[in-house]
Chain A
Amino acid sequence: MPADRSPPGTATLTPVVLQILLALAENNRHGYGIKLEIERLTDGAMSLGSGTLYEAIQRLENSGLVGEAPVPRGESGDSRRRRYYKLTVGGRRALQTELSRLEKVLSHARSKKLIPKTR
């Protein structure tokens, strides 16, 4: 797991971490919300188990990419017991770095005509 121990922003992110950051880019979410959002973004191709998700969240929190957010107003009952997560400034930067790196990879691949045309 080399990506996890490197300082943020300097190396590629694991697919799970990338998806979590993406899921938190627009809205703060609780754990299960993140899972659902990732399933939506990936058309169900990535479905995280509880352990995998929180293991990643723990690492992201420890490295300061993700932080705890206040529970949104209007939530009640069960939802109040959950922790919500948000992207920190560092997290947003790491996501941007990773996305622009991917962008470069993609444009390079496109110029070599490596990407099959989709209808």
Chain B
Amino acid sequence: MMRQRLLRLLFRLYPASFRRRFETELTEFLGDDRRHARYRRTVFGGARFWWRTLIDLFSTAARLRFRGVLQKGRRKQPRRRGGLMDATWQDIRYAIRNMIRRPGFTAVVLVTLALGIGANAAVYTVVQSVIFSPLPYDNPDELVMVWEHNFTRGRPTNVVSPANYFAWRDNATSFEDIAAVTEYSATLTGEGEPQRIGVVSATAGFFSILRLHASIGRVFHIEDDQPNRTTTVLLTHGFWQRQFGGDRSVVGRSITLNGRPAEIIGVLPAGFHFDLAYSFNATGSQDVWVPQQFESNARTFSGRYLQVTGRLKPGVTMAQAQGEMSALAQRLEQELPDRQTGWGVNIVPLHEQVVGNVETPLLILLGSVGFVLLIACANVANLLLSRATSRQQEIAVRSALGAGRGRVMRQLLTESGLLAVIGGGAGALVAFGAVRLLILLKPENLPRLDEVHVSVPVVLYLLGISVVTGLLFGVAPALRLSRMDLRGALIESGRRGGTARGDLRTRNALVIVEIALSLILLTGAGLMIRSFGKLIEIGVGFDTHNVITGQIQLPRSSYGTDALRIRTFEDIVHRVQILPGVESATAITWLPLAGGGTGTSFSVNDRPKPAAGEFPTADIRWVNQDYFHTMRIPLLAGRAFEDQDTGDAPLRVVVNESLAREFWPGGSAIDKTLTMPWNDDMVATIIGVVADVRDKGPAQEPRSMIYWDHRQFQAFDFMSLAVRATGDPLSLVAPIRGELQQVDPDLPLYNVRTMDSYLDSALAEARFGMIVLGLFAVAAIVLASVGIYGVMAFAVSQQTREMGIMIALGAAARTVTAQVVRRSLVLIGIAVAIGIGGTLAVSRFMRGMLFEVSATDPVTVIAVATLLTAVALAACYVPARRAGRVDPIEALRHE
């Protein structure tokens, strides 16, 4: 639809008669062309289609409209009284002729503008789709997430326990309804190869909260989430297409999830995806939705894992809802001080929840790319100014023939406006390509990526910045020229006089702006690079190289007992360990960097028992005994797990350095005991201390961690293999799968990834910001160098005469060169000073994106200022040399 509208707009370029006659056909033609085009499946297919179409459209429209204009004198224009429209047409034709007459100049300006405007439009497209546009649900402002607020650990968006969810649902009056959601993955069998699919489970009210209907069949009814019912399942549109080829008759059929049958009741609309803050779904896609059923014994206060979303009643404000829920939390705390002390409720608008994390970085990108456009404008203004100088005479003649100042200004602004509009058109193409590319790069952690598209606000924005750009770079030269001393210009006939000096002042100011803006951008990029360097330097606390990982899930239907599951996992690890090419192999419940995990509160037995709500907490992982060895996590004290630490032995744990340091600073943690208040209090002895692992990526401070040998407590039916290879880890995938088949042909190894790729993903956000800002900074510095080169070259050419005299009077070439360099240095110095001031003012917005680097890091600022000065000076070198080589005779001959 967008395309149709855009086309109709573009067709306006054609003369009305042509448009009336052929519009329908043109539309049909282009539709066919787009469908037929053999390249349409490639990355730039769309962009290429548009490129060809627009070129064709512009050139034929120009031919049809300006046939007379372009063939100068061939046909006589009928003379009419010069109305406003006529004058405008005249201006436009004149501008087009001017542009064609100087193709090189026009090309440089247009490319600069296209890149500047295109990059802006691309970033704005993303910002608009991700941040500004409302979520694609009915009355999205009423939608919220409801979290538990963990005051002890300072986590305002903690997952929710089932009992709290029910307490809220039954007591809160601010909501139309609330629903509990979790996301995980499950094994689908009976449909070809067993495969791992992404599952979201939600209580029955979920879809009516979003006011979402199934595109086929129905969504959940209230009975669907009652315990002990046969499970129903909803397919997402993508999964329905992929797995069932879009077969509408699947509704009513049954699929097998984790060994249990589930009846397909409907298919969800295309494009529906619910971003959740926490997910145990490692497949990366949401494939099916199942009802979240709670057995009566599952409605516990401990074990927080739900994410709760709700819709406020119309007219209820966030503050009212928050007030009610806080009061409710306090009531619960009084009733159950053991469980609820230190816990509150926190309501977050759904929109903020989805985009909150990326809002600042995206706005910083938008600001940076705006800077690039400003620099581009300054450059184009400079180019136009140098053009203006050579056009003085032409303008003077026009003025002498009776063109008023306003008329001349309008003519000049029409020229710059036309440049901007064509630049904007080309910029739109750049934007199309850039957005496509961006979606391909798929930056992780960028929500709503599938919603990114060119929309009406984007087109308006594009139009807006084109016009503003045209004014920005057009006004200075236009003012300059229209204010010119007419008589002087005519008499001097091209000799440079007082106007040039004024010119130079304007140009100096433009260059100062350019360099100052570049400095700010460059500092931003520099800070990101330093920050990224720190992330790499600090690492994650284990060796990610040459490690291949994959998950295994034992269906409870065939692996019913703990003992059987333990034996099977051990068997698999042992089989893999002796494969050729394997250095060592192990298993863990939740891999570091992969997301997911669980924690526990605990108490230290040689300390007084803390009050309710003040128990310390730690993350907890169950591992195979070779875990630390395989991952190369250094053992700092005591010992790792060994053969004897089986289920029959007393409970033993290994803790990380953070935990040991917190409770036994300077002392030894070995042989101390911890109590974990589970169903029965579990007491475990610490046998070893290992180095910290940055489980959530290098940017996250490590937290207390407790490791258990999985043979001592096996509550889980899944584990991840981690295998360190002697060579290429990917070459081990097939042999590992082979061993797994030997154990049980129905076991898939899913989510196979190298540990390095997990690290890559953990660094993706920082890297993405660094690369994009870096690109902008490079663009800025190139543009600024061109700018200062232009200004110095201009200055030198304006003063050839003075320099000739200096040299004639005996000044050394070196002196003349030095003079130019000195002047450049003054310019650069002023610009750098302003730039540093600007940096200090704006870089604080970057604080949240930086890791262990201050936003005003002096090292970065000084390095960047030095670099920029050096580059700018280098750009002045050629004009400075030329100044030194001025031939006095040549220079003075014009006298």
Residues of A within 8 A of B (CB): 30-32, 35-36, 49-55, 57-58, 78, 81-83
Which residues of chain B have C-beta atoms less than 8 A from A49's C-beta?
52-53, 55-57, 60
**Smallest distance from the beta carbon of B845 to chain A beta carbons, Å?**
46
Instruction: Please list 11 pairs of residues, one from A and one from B, whose beta carbons are closer than 8 Å in the complex, sorted by A's number.
Output: A31-B25, A49-B53, A49-B56, A49-B60, A50-B33, A51-B14, A52-B59, A54-B22, A54-B26, A57-B22, A81-B24
Q: Tell me if A51 and B25 are in contact (CB < 8 A).
A: no
CB closest residue in chain B, given A32 = B32
- With A31-B25, A31-B29, A82-B25 in contact, do A50 and B63 touch (Cβ < 8 Å)? no
Q: How far is the CA of A83 from the CA of B29 in the complex (A)?
A: 11
Q: How far is the CA of A58 from the CA of B67 in the complex (A)?
A: 15
B485 within 8 A of A: no
**Smallest distance from the beta carbon of B62 to chain A beta carbons, Å?**
10
Which residues of chain A have C-beta atoms less than 8 A from B33's C-beta?
32, 35, 50
Which residues of chain B have C-beta atoms less than 8 A from A78's C-beta?
28
Q: Tell me if B25 and A83 are in contact (CB < 8 A).
A: yes
B301 within 8 A of A: no
Which residues of chain B have C-beta atoms less than 8 A from A50's C-beta?
26, 29-30, 33, 53, 56-57
CB closest residue in chain B, given A39 = B36
Q: Tell me if B28 and A52 are in contact (CB < 8 A).
A: no
Which residues of chain B have C-beta atoms less than 8 A from A52's C-beta?
56, 59-60
CB closest residue in chain A, given B22 = A54
**Smallest distance from the beta carbon of A37 to chain B beta carbons, Å?**
13
Which residues of chain B have C-beta atoms less than 8 A from A55's C-beta?
18, 60, 63-64
Q: Tell me if B28 and A82 are in contact (CB < 8 A).
A: yes
Which residues of chain B have C-beta atoms less than 8 A from A32's C-beta?
28-29, 32-33
**Smallest distance from the beta carbon of B564 to chain A beta carbons, Å?**
63
Which residues of chain A have C-beta atoms less than 8 A from B28's C-beta?
30-32, 78, 81-82
Which residues of chain B have C-beta atoms less than 8 A from A57's C-beta?
22
CB closest residue in chain B, given A82 = B28
Which residues of chain A have C-beta atoms less than 8 A from B355's C-beta?
none
Q: How far is the CA of A14 from the CA of B76 in the complex (A)?
A: 25
Q: Which of B26, B28, B36, B52 lies at the interface centre, i.e. has the most chain A CB atoms within 10 A of its CB?
A: B28
Q: How far is the CA of A81 from the CA of B26 in the complex (A)?
A: 12
Q: How far is the CA of A49 from the CA of B56 in the complex (A)?
A: 6
**Smallest distance from the beta carbon of B424 to chain A beta carbons, Å?**
20
CB closest residue in chain A, given B59 = A51
Q: Tell me if B32 and A51 are in contact (CB < 8 A).
A: no
Q: How far is the CA of A5 from the CA of B542 in the complex (A)?
A: 80
Q: How far is the CA of A55 from the CA of B63 in the complex (A)?
A: 9
Q: Which of B24, B32, B64 lies at the interface centre, i.e. has the most chain A CB atoms within 10 A of its CB?
A: B32
Q: Tell me if A51 and B56 are in contact (CB < 8 A).
A: yes
- Contacting residues of chain B (41-68) with chain A, CB-CB under 8 angstroms: 52-53, 55-57, 59-61, 63-64
**Smallest distance from the beta carbon of B467 to chain A beta carbons, Å?**
26
Q: Which of B33, B57, B59, B64 lies at the interface centre, i.e. has the most chain A CB atoms within 10 A of its CB?
A: B33
Which residues of chain B have C-beta atoms less than 8 A from A58's C-beta?
18, 21-22
CB closest residue in chain B, given A53 = B29
Label chain B's interface by main secondary structure.
helix
Q: Which of B24, B25, B26, B29 lies at the interface centre, i.e. has the most chain A CB atoms within 10 A of its CB?
A: B29
Which residues of chain B have C-beta atoms less than 8 A from A31's C-beta?
25, 28-29
List of 10 A-B pairs having minimum Cβ-Cβ separation, nearest first: A49-B56, A51-B60, A32-B32, A50-B29, A54-B22, A51-B56, A55-B60, A32-B29, A50-B26, A31-B29
Residues of B within 8 A of A (CB): 14, 18, 21-22, 24-26, 28-30, 32-33, 36, 52-53, 55-57, 59-61, 63-64
Q: How far is the CA of A80 from the CA of B26 in the complex (A)?
A: 15
Q: How far is the CA of A22 from the CA of B6 in the complex (A)?
A: 33
Q: How far is the CA of A54 from the CA of B55 in the complex (A)?
A: 15
Q: How far is the CA of A115 from the CA of B22 in the complex (A)?
A: 41
Q: Which of A32, A50, A81 lies at the interface centre, i.e. has the most chain B CB atoms within 10 A of its CB?
A: A50
Q: How far is the CA of A35 from the CA of B239 in the complex (A)?
A: 39
Which residues of chain A have C-beta atoms less than 8 A from B14's C-beta?
51
**Smallest distance from the beta carbon of A16 to chain B beta carbons, Å?**
11
Other than A49-B53, A50-B53, give 4 A-B pairs with Cβ distance below 8 A: A50-B30, A52-B60, A53-B29, A55-B63
Q: How far is the CA of A49 from the CA of B54 in the complex (A)?
A: 9
Q: How far is the CA of A36 from the CA of B36 in the complex (A)?
A: 10
Which residues of chain A have C-beta atoms less than 8 A from B25's C-beta?
30-31, 54, 82-83
CB closest residue in chain B, given A47 = B52
CB closest residue in chain A, given B62 = A51
Q: How far is the CA of A53 from the CA of B25 in the complex (A)?
A: 11
**Smallest distance from the beta carbon of B183 to chain A beta carbons, Å?**
43
Which residues of chain B have C-beta atoms less than 8 A from A54's C-beta?
18, 22, 25-26, 29, 60
CB closest residue in chain A, given B7 = A50
Q: How far is the CA of A50 from the CA of B60 in the complex (A)?
A: 9
Q: How far is the CA of A51 from the CA of B18 in the complex (A)?
A: 10
**Smallest distance from the beta carbon of A32 to chain B beta carbons, Å?**
4
Q: Which of B14, B24, B60 lies at the interface centre, i.e. has the most chain A CB atoms within 10 A of its CB?
A: B60
Which residues of chain A have C-beta atoms less than 8 A from B61's C-beta?
51
Which residues of chain A have C-beta atoms less than 8 A from B18's C-beta?
54-55, 58
Which residues of chain A have C-beta atoms less than 8 A from B36's C-beta?
36
- With A49-B55, A58-B21 in contact, do A35 and B60 touch (Cβ < 8 Å)? no
Contact of A35 among B21, B29, B52 (CB under 8 A): B29
**Smallest distance from the beta carbon of B479 to chain A beta carbons, Å?**
38
**Smallest distance from the beta carbon of B4 to chain A beta carbons, Å?**
14
**Smallest distance from the beta carbon of B73 to chain A beta carbons, Å?**
15
Q: How far is the CA of A51 from the CA of B53 in the complex (A)?
A: 8
Q: How far is the CA of A35 from the CA of B24 in the complex (A)?
A: 16
Which residues of chain A have C-beta atoms less than 8 A from B64's C-beta?
55
Q: How far is the CA of A81 from the CA of B24 in the complex (A)?
A: 8
Which residues of chain A have C-beta atoms less than 8 A from B29's C-beta?
31-32, 35, 50, 53-54
**Smallest distance from the beta carbon of B54 to chain A beta carbons, Å?**
9
**Smallest distance from the beta carbon of B870 to chain A beta carbons, Å?**
48
**Smallest distance from the beta carbon of A61 to chain B beta carbons, Å?**
9
Which residues of chain A have C-beta atoms less than 8 A from B55's C-beta?
49
Q: How far is the CA of A50 from the CA of B64 in the complex (A)?
A: 14
Q: How far is the CA of A51 from the CA of B57 in the complex (A)?
A: 6
Q: How far is the CA of A35 from the CA of B26 in the complex (A)?
A: 12
Q: How far is the CA of A31 from the CA of B33 in the complex (A)?
A: 11
Which residues of chain A have C-beta atoms less than 8 A from B57's C-beta?
49-51
**Smallest distance from the beta carbon of A3 to chain B beta carbons, Å?**
14
**Smallest distance from the beta carbon of B521 to chain A beta carbons, Å?**
39
Q: How far is the CA of A82 from the CA of B23 in the complex (A)?
A: 11
Q: How far is the CA of A89 from the CA of B24 in the complex (A)?
A: 27
Q: How far is the CA of A70 from the CA of B53 in the complex (A)?
A: 28
Q: How far is the CA of A78 from the CA of B35 in the complex (A)?
A: 14
Q: Which of B18, B25, B33, B61 lies at the interface centre, i.e. has the most chain A CB atoms within 10 A of its CB?
A: B25
CB closest residue in chain B, given A54 = B22
Which residues of chain A have C-beta atoms less than 8 A from B52's C-beta?
49
**Smallest distance from the beta carbon of B68 to chain A beta carbons, Å?**
12
**Smallest distance from the beta carbon of A69 to chain B beta carbons, Å?**
14
CB closest residue in chain A, given B56 = A49
Which residues of chain A have C-beta atoms less than 8 A from B32's C-beta?
32
Q: How far is the CA of A50 from the CA of B49 in the complex (A)?
A: 12
Q: Which of A35, A49, A81 lies at the interface centre, i.e. has the most chain B CB atoms within 10 A of its CB?
A: A49
Q: How far is the CA of A32 from the CA of B463 in the complex (A)?
A: 32
Which residues of chain B have C-beta atoms less than 8 A from A82's C-beta?
25, 28
Q: How far is the CA of A30 from the CA of B31 in the complex (A)?
A: 14
Which residues of chain A have C-beta atoms less than 8 A from B63's C-beta?
55
CB closest residue in chain B, given A61 = B21
Which residues of chain B have C-beta atoms less than 8 A from A36's C-beta?
36
**Smallest distance from the beta carbon of A43 to chain B beta carbons, Å?**
14
